[in-house]
Structure 1
Amino acid sequence: MSLNSTPQSVRVHIGIFGKRNAGKSSVINAITNQEAAIVSDVLGTTTDPVFRPMEILPIGPCVLIDTAGLDDVGELGKLRINKSMDVLDKTDIALIVIDSSIGICEEDLILTEKLKLKKIPYILVLNKVDKIYDKSKLIENVKNKSNAPMICVSSRDKVGIEELKKEIINVMPQSSNDLKLVSDLIKPKDFVVLVVPIDKAAPKGRLILPQQQVIRDILDSGSTAIVVKEDELKDTLENLNKKPSIVITDSQVFESVNKDVPKDILLTSFSILFARQKGDLDELINGAYYIDKLKDGDKVLIAEGCTHHRQSDDIGKFKIPNLIKQRSGKNIIFEFTSGTTFTEDITQYALVVHCGACMMNRNAMLSRIEKSKSLNVPIVNYGVLIAYTKGILDRTLEPFKL
């Protein structure tokens, strides 16, 4: 990732849906004003979802997600449609592209019902209006079937594209980028101490994304960020002329940091900050208590939102399972998943333990929490779990009770 790039996790995710040859890829090219997607008259040109990070004025940093046709056919076509539906879990705004010469179809209406259930704002994009004579009749027909916002466009002639961009902004929901990490907990000119271990799991020559984002949020608030390693924390706190308003640590060194930070200084972790910003902190806290209810033979899923090379002491593969076994005293079966896929059968697990989701957008993380909640499977994230097993969860939640 370029140092100047906006992380994909904080970009608005715009899903482009519609039947085959409705002009989804052409609409993407018109919005971006470049040949970003392959356009062809051949049905089913787009197969798997394609994620395209973009900077589009006046929308800003976003991800356009090109999907397969909702009317794809055959066994392979069903798989492609399922992949397109999976995209809904990551979508902030949906564009349903409709061929104006055909009008709104059953597949489009089925999708609108799914979007309503998921509370995802959507826009009906009536494409290819250059091919019809009576636009008003088309609009009336669509309005009789759906009361969603609609925009008439011609991706070929670039008609209606600016209006579409404006409508995207009008329906844009609050994103995780609008939700604060730490700046709502501090005041301008406050000191914030960040504890960043440098071990073999740390990326060479740079800080990991959660640390970068927290530092940026602190600086944007007009406060001062002081970054130290865990073995430098005690001396740093003793030598500061001003008491820090809060100490934020990597969860893996919670125990030692807790001992070094005086009780009159607030303490939390990067992972807990992200649990609050990206997900449902209360639900993740509830999940922590289920560790004490685990039984011999229970299965626990360790889920991560990205893929990375695992070290010999990887937090998800080794440290979290060891903490759970030590706390529960039970013989637990652990399974692991990473990347964009979650799991098909979550009911087989007694508990889901998720990473901090720094590489996922808020909708993606919330969809995983909601799926777990709806099936009565408790879910917790790394930071909350570590704080709970170390007996310091209440302390790490104090900053959010003020």
Structure 2
Amino acid sequence: MLDTPKANRLHIAIFGRRNAGKSSLINALTGQDAALVSPMPGTTTDPVFKAMELLPIGPVVFIDTAGIDDQGELGELRVERTLRVMDRTDLALLVVSPPAGDLSMEREWLEGLKGRGIPVVGVCNKVDVGGMDLGGLEGELGIRFVPVSARTGEGIEFLKEAIQEAVPEGWERDTIVGDLLSPGQVVLLVAPQDIQAPKGRLILPQVQVMRDLLDHRCVGVMATAGELGVSLEFFRRGGGYPDLVITDSQVFHIVKEKLPPEVPLTSFSILMARYKGDLKTLVDGARAVMSLKDGDRVLIAEACTHHPLKGDIGREKLPQVIREMSGAELGFDVVAGNDFPRELRGYSLVVHCGGCMLNRKHMMSRIMRARSHGVPMTNYGVLLALRSGILDRAVGMLLPSG
């Protein structure tokens, strides 16, 4: 609870052949035995995520991957999982070590990374054993390589500098909502604590929004939906209303009835849609629900892997809402965690959660995949705002005018 959430950390993935020294490189960069190291090729079999502090960047997640040259039936599955890591990568390290030999495989992966707009830093590892032509390596692959030895530590500080220089500008938005407010403004957060909420804690978007308000010197007041009337009466006695109300999307219908229409209103999920992804695309996607017809299939995607309980929003509430809005007999598939399909052409709509457990790169890759397949995509909060008849109000202050 005291750590920076993984989704808010810069994700640095390390790609290279088996035994190129990828795991050793993580240990050298962090000064810790964070990754299992062995002279046997293929020690890392699945992507391993390590949350670290990398100065001067700050909180990062290193992703240690299986070798891009893994072989056999299981090896092919491992390479496929390594390939999926690109969807959540903000910055990549491509590791080559002697003997380099044929670099066609590295060239193929480099093209895949560049095609996704991922900045790449080349790492020439094991320089302590010699046998590498750095100039020839750079000339053949067309990127800068930093010579290092993960074993001795040689060149590691220069690699940190190269990583710092390659961090993509705007890899994450600086604020969730604070840029829309002025210091001293008061925000009411309506946060119902249903059976899905973790016992004794707030859900992550509520925590992150409250922290963002404090960071921007705003005043946050929190209440459940049942105490909304009492909270608004408290504001009225003070001569006004909150400058903004942020609610759980599932109680939009309650909040809008008690709140004067001139008071700005949005939801945690919609704020996360702006923070993590492309809000305009998700707004446009919500309107596609009215065009669904009998036999269409809808994909509902969750970023986390919670144990579903009775009344689960993704498995029970949203399918019912979508059927009512469209008037159509539809089929639904629900996926959670990393099980987002690569092929979406069989769907007529994708409805995603707020994505608080994903980094922005991962969320945007899902949006881009839906767009490339011609499938509209929206998120829980945007869809529920449309259903409540307040979509324009809920996104009005979040989208650029025009």
Choose which of 149, 154, 157 in structure 2 pairs with 1:162: 157
Residues paired across the two proteins, number = 397
Choose which of 141, 144, 151 in structure 2 pairs with 1:146: 141
- Letter of the 2:287 partner, please give it: Y
Identity of aligned residues (%): 48
The Cα shift of 1:104 comes to: 7.1
Cross-structure match for 1:232: 227
**C-alpha contact (below 8 Å) 2:189/2:221 kept by paired residues:** yes
SS at match of 1:194: strand
**C-alpha contact (below 8 Å) 1:10/1:176 kept by paired residues:** no
Cross-structure match for 2:363: 365
In 2, Cα distance between equivalents of 1:149 and 1:285:
41
**C-alpha contact (below 8 Å) 2:90/2:171 kept by paired residues:** no
> Which segments of 5 or more consecutive residues in structure 1 lack a partner in the other structure?
none
> Which segments of 5 or more consecutive residues in structure 2 lack a partner in the other structure?
none
- Letter of the 2:339 partner, please give it: T
Query: Is 2:244 aligned against 1:246?
Result: yes
- Letter of the 1:236 partner, please give it: S
Aligned-residue Cα RMSD (Å) equals: 1.4
**C-alpha contact (below 8 Å) 1:101/1:128 kept by paired residues:** no
In 1, Cα distance between equivalents of 2:171 and 2:188:
23
TM-score (norm 1): 0.96
**C-alpha contact (below 8 Å) 1:9/1:361 kept by paired residues:** yes
**C-alpha contact (below 8 Å) 1:101/1:131 kept by paired residues:** no
Cα shift readout 1:182-225 (whole Å, capped 9, x = no counterpart): 00110000001100012222221110000000000000001000
Cross-structure match for 1:173: 168
- Letter of the 1:123 partner, please give it: V
Cross-structure match for 1:213: 208
Cα shift readout 1:136-186 (whole Å, capped 9, x = no counterpart): xx2210221233232110011101111111211111124564332100110
In 1, Cα distance between equivalents of 2:180 and 2:9:
24
Query: Is 2:298 aligned against 1:296?
Result: no
- Letter of the 2:144 partner, please give it: P
* Cα gap change, 1:104 to 1:185, in 2 (>3 Å): farther
Cα shift readout 1:314-362 (whole Å, capped 9, x = no counterpart): 1111111111011111111111100112013311111111000000001
TM-score (norm 2): 0.96
Cross-structure match for 2:372: 374
In 1, Cα distance between equivalents of 2:32 and 2:40:
21
In 1, Cα distance between equivalents of 2:377 and 2:386:
13
Choose which of 255, 265, 268 in structure 1 pairs with 2:266: 268
In 1, Cα distance between equivalents of 2:230 and 2:40:
67
In 2, Cα distance between equivalents of 1:281 and 1:168:
30
SS at match of 2:175: coil
Choose which of 82, 103, 119 in structure 2 pairs with 1:105: 103
Query: Is 2:114 aligned against 1:116?
Result: yes
Cross-structure match for 2:392: 394
The Cα shift of 1:280 comes to: 0.9
**C-alpha contact (below 8 Å) 2:282/2:377 kept by paired residues:** yes
The Cα shift of 1:376 comes to: 0.2
SS at match of 2:384: helix
